[in-house]
Structure 1
């Protein structure tokens, strides 16, 4: 994956307030440390969500099918079998009810 120089600069810019927040936290300056940490996070998120990276980081639909099918196929099979079983039971009970009402 090719990372643009602009993204690298954004990451470097986020490291400065992050280290400043760490130093201030070590000294016990909590409020100022929180402000610096918030700034560092905002800059890091700007780099992470840069449009040139977002197109690369999203997987295709086929990828999601390949990943999640082994998890959901067994569950769906059991749900489908249970639904068929309940449908058969419903038909039998409906036939019994109809026969009861007829007599």
Structure 2
């Protein structure tokens, strides 16, 4: 049985219990049933890097060419983005 089915069964059970006059218990069951719902997907942490622009992408490429021994993390720190963004740009995922 999956969570949506369990939630529906709990609501039916709550209705049956409420029909017998036990409204407080039915309310508790409904509350428990509602706890099985998924929370909406929201960003919990703020974005830490600035948005990518063509100028930043060009700067990453230029820095990588000028300093081939630098790591992606170092290039990212120099440009002001994460090493992952540097990897995306250099691998061609951006542009």
For the aligned pair, the TM-score class normalised by the smaller chain equals 0.3 to 0.5
Q: Which has the higher helix share?
A: 1
TM-score, normalised by the number of residues in structure 1: 0.35
Rg larger in 1 or in 2? 1
TM-score, normalised by the number of residues in structure 2: 0.38
- Ranked by relative contact order (alpha carbons within 8 Å, sequence separation 6 or more), the top structure is 1
